[in-house]
């Protein structure tokens, strides 16, 4: 009897559903006219056209990105702490929507929309602020037209042609964990050697201001001074023999050209890249920036080396042309089944990248008066304009290891980095020198791609 009741109930339910479907079909026919099934197919097509998982029947939709977080331990010579954050706005967790559709054979159109999720990162945190980020921001929002023979034109918010040009030649597989761009610790405040102890010796100036400042973009991202996303028009030529050429122009005003080449010779994998950028916007400074990068890897042994050089023309009165270089070398081998293991060492210098503290502005004494050290002692008061920087040299050294986990599209890394800085200054024409406490970082993190 129990089984019979279940069968009867199931049968009644099916009959009820069928009846409801017939009533619904009759209602649609009465309300809309025509064939009910044709109308149902049309409704289904409309739903498919608006389903974000697939895009519509004409334009595809793909969703890619990554999630990245790390454990960031630091020591500024007097204070130390450990934060949990992302790497930087550029490398924060991100999601990208993109797609395209064929117009006619050989021609297509498409779009890109990228969102960054940055609640806290190693570029913006400092001794007194453990959670500083840019929040949710739009990184890219643009459309493009592409010809297989003529190339691609993109319009909207996007990376300029020279963005990451030298960085793109790094084929080591470690570019997220360790790269030329000085993200780590840039916003931490400097401690002059010989200065006051504890909090009193903490200046108002940051590594960003005196060691990593790019005049072109007005950002503390030393090593990628054309690394910005702007409203622009960009052209990418079709690749020829591994060579990709691109150019862009954007408000208000900048223009640039870039070239990227990859190839193989005998047992070596090679990459070369370079770019030139000119900016005339008052907000960004009238400046120019030249960058080159190169990579070589001996495939059988896994030994590789990578290098970058960049030079920036001064954009502000009283500042100097600045330059930087970065070298990274390592070994990549698949020692375990999980994926490749990478070990590396790195060294770099940023010279005269102190555009964040302009000559004659009084900013130097405003930052160092009361902190002690040679600069602090030279300042008569916080408004003293006679003490100015004449040169800086910032050094970066580090080592690291990264393990790829292929099955999870994941990279795990641990690295140590040290920043060192020395500065030359003048006090009403009298030369002086100031060394700063080194800044040590131990960072362990991971990124998962999807």
* Measured distance CA(113)–CA(99) in Å, rounded: 10
Does residue 58 lie in a domain region?
A: no
* Measured distance CA(431)–CA(422) in Å, rounded: 14
Q: Sort residue 173 into left (φ over 0), alpha (ψ -120 to 50) or beta.
A: left
Does residue 56 lie in a domain region?
A: no
Domain count along the chain: 2
Q: Answer yes or no: do 231 and 83 share one domain.
A: yes
Q: Answer yes or no: do 283 and 305 share one domain.
A: yes
Q: Answer yes or no: do 286 and 360 share one domain.
A: yes
**Domain span at 405:** 63-449
Q: HEC string of 333-387? A: EEEECCEEEEEEEEEEEEECCCCCCCCCCCHHHHHHCCCEHHHHHHCCCCCCCCE
Instruction: Give the pLDDT score at 344.
Output: 98
- HSE, CB side, 13 Å, CA atoms: give it for residue 353: 34
**pLDDT beyond 50 at 4:** no
**Average pLDDT of the residues in 253-270:** 95
Q: Answer yes or no: do 100 and 20 share one domain.
A: no
**pLDDT beyond 60 at 166:** yes
Does residue 57 lie in a domain region?
A: no
Q: CA–CA distance from 32 to each of 23, 25, 81 (Å)? A: 14, 10, 68
Q: Answer yes or no: do 251 and 224 share one domain.
A: yes
Q: Answer yes or no: do 369 and 401 share one domain.
A: yes
Q: Answer yes or no: do 130 and 218 share one domain.
A: yes
* Measured distance CA(149)–CA(142) in Å, rounded: 21
* Measured distance CA(376)–CA(206) in Å, rounded: 15
* DSSP symbols for 59-73: SB-EEEEEEEEEEEE
Could you tell me the CATH number of the domain that includes residue 223? 2.40.160.10
Instruction: Give the pLDDT score at 16.
Output: 40
- Counting residues of the chain whose pLDDT is more than 90, the rounded percentage is 73
Residues with Cβ within 8 Å of residue 46, at least 6 apart in sequence: none
Q: Answer yes or no: do 46 and 68 share one domain.
A: no
* Measured distance CA(211)–CA(420) in Å, rounded: 9
Q: Answer yes or no: do 271 and 387 share one domain.
A: yes
**pLDDT beyond 70 at 10:** no
* Measured distance CA(393)–CA(159) in Å, rounded: 29
- HSE, CB side, 13 Å, CA atoms: give it for residue 404: 19
387: burial class by Cβ within 10 Å (0-12, 13-18, 19+)?
Answer: buried
Of residues 323, 388, 381, 331, the one with CA closest to residue 358? 388
Instruction: Give the pLDDT score at 7.
Output: 32
pLDDT of 286-303, one tens digit each?
Answer: 789 999 999 999 999 999
Q: Answer yes or no: do 346 and 226 share one domain.
A: yes
Q: Answer yes or no: do 219 and 305 share one domain.
A: yes
Does residue 252 lie in a domain region?
A: yes
Does residue 255 lie in a domain region?
A: yes
Does residue 139 lie in a domain region?
A: yes
Does residue 305 lie in a domain region?
A: yes
Least confident segment among 21-25, 159-163, 189-193: 21-25
Assessment of whether the complete model's pTM goes beyond 0.75? yes
Does residue 367 lie in a domain region?
A: yes
Q: Answer yes or no: do 312 and 373 share one domain.
A: yes
pLDDT of 28-70, one tens digit each?
Answer: 333 333 444 455 455 545 555 554 555 667 899 999 999 999 9
């Amino acid at each position: 009897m129990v089984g019979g009741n279940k069968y009867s109930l199931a049968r009644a339910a099916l009959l009820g559903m069928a009846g409801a479907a017939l009533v619904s079909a009759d209602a649609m026919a009465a309300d809309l006219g025509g064939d009910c099934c044709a109308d149902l197919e049309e409704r289904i097509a409309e739903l498919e056209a608006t389903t974000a998982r697939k895009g519509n029947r004409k334009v595809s939709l793909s969703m890619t990105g990554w999630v990245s977080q790390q454990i960031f331990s630091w020591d500024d010579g007097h204070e130390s702490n450990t934060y949990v954050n992302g790497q930087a706005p550029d490398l924060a967790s991100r999601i990208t929507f993109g797609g395209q559709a064929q117009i006619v054979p050989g021609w297509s159109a498409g779009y890109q929309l990228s969102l960054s999720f940055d609640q806290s990162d190693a570029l913006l945190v400092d001794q007194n602020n453990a959670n500083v980020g840019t929040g949710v921001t739009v990184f890219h929002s643009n459309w493009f037209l592409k010809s297989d023979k003529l190339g691609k034109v993109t319009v909207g918010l996007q990376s300029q042609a020279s963005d990451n040009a030298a960085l793109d030649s790094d084929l080591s597989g470690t570019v997220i964990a360790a790269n030329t761009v000085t993200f780590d610790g840039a916003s931490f405040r400097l401690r002059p050697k010989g200065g006051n102890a504890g909090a009193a010796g903490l200046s108002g100036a940051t590594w960003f201001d005196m060691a990593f400042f790019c005049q072109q973009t007005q950002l503390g991202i030393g090593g990628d001074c054309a690394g910005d996303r702007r409203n622009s028009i960009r052209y990418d030529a079709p690749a020829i023999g591994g060579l990709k050429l691109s150019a862009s122009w954007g408000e208000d005003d900048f223009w640039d050209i870039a070239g990227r080449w990859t190839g193989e010779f005998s047992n070596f994998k090679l990459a070369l890249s370079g770019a030139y950028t000119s900016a005339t916007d008052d907000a960004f400074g009238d400046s120019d920036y030249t960058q080159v990068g190169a990579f070589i890897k001996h495939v059988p042994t896994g030994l590789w080396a990578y290098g970058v050089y960049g030079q920036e023309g001064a954009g502000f009165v009283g500042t100097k042309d600045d330059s930087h270089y970065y070298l990274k070398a390592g070994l990549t081998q698949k020692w375990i089944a999980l994926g490749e293991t990478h070990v590396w060492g790195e060294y770099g210098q940023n010279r005269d990248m102190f555009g964040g503290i302009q000559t004659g502005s009084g900013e130097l004494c405003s930052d160092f008066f009361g902190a002690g050290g040679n600069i602090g002692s030279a300042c008569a008061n916080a408004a003293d304009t006679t003490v100015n920087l004449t040169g800086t040299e910032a050094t970066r050294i580090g080592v690291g290891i990264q393990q790829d986990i292929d099955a999870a599209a994941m990279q795990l890394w641990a690295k140590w980095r040290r920043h060192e800085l020395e500065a030359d200054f003048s006090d009403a024409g009298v030369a002086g020198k100031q060394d700063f406490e080194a800044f040590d970082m131990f960072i362990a993190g991971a990124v998962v791609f999807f």
